[in-house]
Each structure stands twice: as structure tokens, then as C-alpha cells.
Structure 1
Amino acid sequence: MDITTLIGLVMGILLVGWGILSNSDLGSYIDPPSIIIVIGGAFSGWLVAYPMKDAANLGKVISKTMRNSEFDIDQIITKIIELANVARREGLLALEEAVSEIKDDFLQKGVMLIVDGTDPELVKNILETEIDNLTERHAKNRSMLETLGSLAPAFGMVGTLIGLVAMLQNLSDPTSIGPSMAVALLTTFYGSLIANLVFVPMAVKLNVKSNEEVLIRSVMVEGLLSIQAGENPRIIEEKLKVFLPPSVRKKVGTQEANTDNG
């Protein structure tokens, strides 16, 4: 589980709760009709915006923000260097035996294209097209959370307007104006809280994870094309290390790659 997501949610809830309790009581900030208007309204508008096939994936999209990344760029680069050493010693066809040990489908697909003798330009086009499609899927998933993040405050305002209309219809009782106004403003509070603590940050986190995955895929493409071109594993290692922060570059690579002078 991505612990930062949980920490952020819990911290945000605690800070808001502390702010409420330091000035009032928690019960005065609970209004079920306001909650229904904000959450129900946001999801209703969201259903209007997206087809059912996308709506069915919302749970998976949200759960992805709660999971740790499946990729470790250090391990990926190390694996590519190992494959480069195998190809250098035994030839490209020897990589077929290593395919079963590769867990990532994208890298596995690239290796098989090389083993099958596919033209390097075609290999590049196939893999880059897959990256483009991956980016589009991620953008769609991110947009679903962004839409919810924009609809929640909007329906919070709708709820406030409903409350104001009800309040203005009962101006004959001045003592009810304050409580009625407070209830009306709660929907705006709920909408802003849900948007800025849940949906918008989750959309940002998806974007971060997407950029990370695209980077790793790009590293794979660069490494695979270098292997297919017959480049020295040491050179491949140095090419791929430029994708890493300087602080972790020394940790990447295999002893075999570091001692292979070709």
C-alpha cells in the first residue's frame, strides 16, 4: 500500500477535525442532506460525463492511488544489463530462454520481438505505440478523478443555494437565519473538503505514477534497441543510468556488466 496516500488522508481529516473541535462541536458540522447532495450530486454528474465501461473502472482507478508502484527502475536497468550480457556472449536468440524469467509483460514483449528478428525500427514503433496508448489510458483515468474534483465543489454550491432559498422563504423568524445559513454553508464545506483532500490529490498522484511508468517504459525501449544493435553492455549501462538520479546510479548494474570490456 502507498502509505503516503493513507497518511495524507488521515492527517487532513485530523487537522480539519481539530479545527472544528477547537471552535465548535463536531455535531454542528454533520448534516446528512448536505452530504448526500455533494457526494450524490458529484457522482451523478460524473455518470453523465462517462460511459458505463469507464464508470465500472473507477474503483480500480482509486485503488491504484493506494498501491505502491509495481516498477523499480533500478531493477529494470539491472535486468536489461543482464540481458545485454547474455546477448553479447551467446547471441540474440539466447534471449528466448531468459523470457520466462521476465515478469514485466512490456519488457517480455520487446525481448520476443528482438528474438524473432523484427526490424529495429518496427520494434521501436510497436513499443512506442504501446507507450502512447498507455499514456492515453492513464489520462482518461486521471480525468475521471479530476472531474469528480470539479463537481464536488460545484454541487456544494448547489446545496448552499438550496439552503439559501429555504432560508429566504422563512425570514419572518430572525432567530432561524443563523442556523439556516450555517446548514446552507455546510454543503460548500463538504464539496471543498472532498475535492481538495481526496479527488484532486488522487488525480495528481495518478499523474506522478503515470509519468514514472512512462519513464520506465522508455528506459526499456532504449535498452532493448541497444541490445538489438549489439552495443557493449557497459555502454548500455551508462546510457540507461542517465535516467536515474546521480545518488542511485552507483547502485545499478551487475558485476558482470562492470567487468565486461567486450
Structure 2
Amino acid sequence: MSNIKLFESKHIRSIWDDGAQHWLFAVVDVVAALTDSQNPQVYWRVLKKRLLAEGNETVTNCNALKMTAPDGKQRLTDVADTEQLLRLIQSIPSPKAEPFKRWLAKVGYERLEEIENPELAAARMRELYKAKGYSDEWIEKRVRGIAIRDELTNEWQKRGVKEQREYAILTSEISRATFGMTPAEYKAFKNLDKPADNLRDHMNDLELIFTMLGEASTTEIARNKDAQGYIENRDAASKGGAVAGRARGDLEKKSGKRIASKENYKQLPEAVARKKLK
């Protein structure tokens, strides 16, 4: 489970380690949040070299994992758990050290709460979207869409689809059959030019509904056909997306309006308009 946490508006990339039951955080993001350095990669590289020379075991035990970089690509980056970060913070002079320690404790506690009660995770997700200015109605559809997406990816995993690249191709098949566009083409259509932009966070109600229909249909077809491996699941993805595509086309003919919209929610984080897409 990967995620992005916010500490004083700074993005901290993180991954939940199910085996160890703790978060792993991107060290360079923590350095950026604590130091406001213009080049946190260089800051961390110099600090890491010094600590290694001193025989610091915390640095020695830091592992590198692939995480999504600002350019959207998967790149190796050093990660550390809460205990390791608390030790590293001692080597970073920063007035934000104490607030960051409290933030770490809060993040860890909240995750353990969510494991005990999964409804808390959904509730916190709703709070985050609401703070950004999304309507309650939109949030409910978005949360439901996340659940449907998770069900689909879990099904793919059980059926032998393992690599992230295969997940991306299957997702593109569904999107192409549903909307006539791959996710990349859809982002360009909506003028979403940043790698970090999440396409689904910029969809209106109907776009979310047809996305859910395409993915739910794919799950159902894969189960009923007992699709195994990448090839069979790609066929299921194409057919599932086609179900949603036909429904979309039928609605467009009867309503006289295209479902795919160029509108997006880019203004919401800045609270410029706070408008609701219709």
C-alpha cells in the first residue's frame, strides 16, 4: 500500500509494509520538509555520506525502494521507518524536528487504527476530499470507485496478473473501450499536464460512474470466465470496458451531450472557484 502524506503542505511519499506493520517513508522527502532545501537530494547525499563515515547504523540499514518520482516514473529512493527517521532527525538541524516527531506518531497511530477499523480510512479520505472543496455527492462516488478498483486489482492478482506494467495496460484497455481514450489521452484531453495529477480526481459524476461500470463489468467477466493470466484478463478488460462504452454511447445519443468532459478540478486546491462540476 503506497500513499502520500502531508506534513505542513509538504508531500511525504510512503509505503505500508504489511509484514513489519509499519510505514516506510522516502527520506529525501523528509529532508525536503525539514530543511526547505532547494536540492534535498544533494542534502541527503552529503548527510548520508557523513553518517556512513561515522559508522551510523541507521543509515546502513536504510533500504531503497521504487517510488513514483515527481516526473511520474518509478525510481529507487532511500526509505526509513519511524524509528530510523527519529534517529536521522537528530542529525538534521531544524526547528520543525519536534512537530515532525509528533506528526510521525500521529500517522503511525492512525494507520494502526485503520487496520482495526477500515471504515476510519474511508472517513479520513472523505475529510481530505472535502477539505479540497469537493461536494459530498462527488466524494461518495469517488470512494465507491476506489473500492471497485481495489476489488478489480485484487481479482487480477489472484488470476496471475502481477506486474504494474500489466495493470497499466489492462486499465488502458478498459478506459479505451469505455471512453475511446487511454488514461494518458484522457489526461491530455482534460489538460492535466502534471505527472502527479490523478485523472479520477478530475472526473465529474458521470465520468466516475462509467469508469466504475467498466471496472465492475471487467471483474464480473473475469470471474465468470475464470480468466487466467495476462492474455485472458486483457480480453476480459476489453469486454468489460465495452459494456460501459455501449452504455455511454446510448446515453450520449439520448441526451445529446458527450460524457467525457474537458472540465477538471485544478482550481479546487487553490480555492479559487470552489465550483461543482455538473
Q: Specify the TM-score bucket, using the shorter chain as the normaliser.
A: under 0.3
Q: Which has the higher contact order (CA 8 A, sep 6+)?
A: 1
- TM-score by length of structure 2 reads 0.21
Higher strand share: 2
Larger Rg: 1
- TM-score by length of structure 1 reads 0.22
Higher helix share: 1
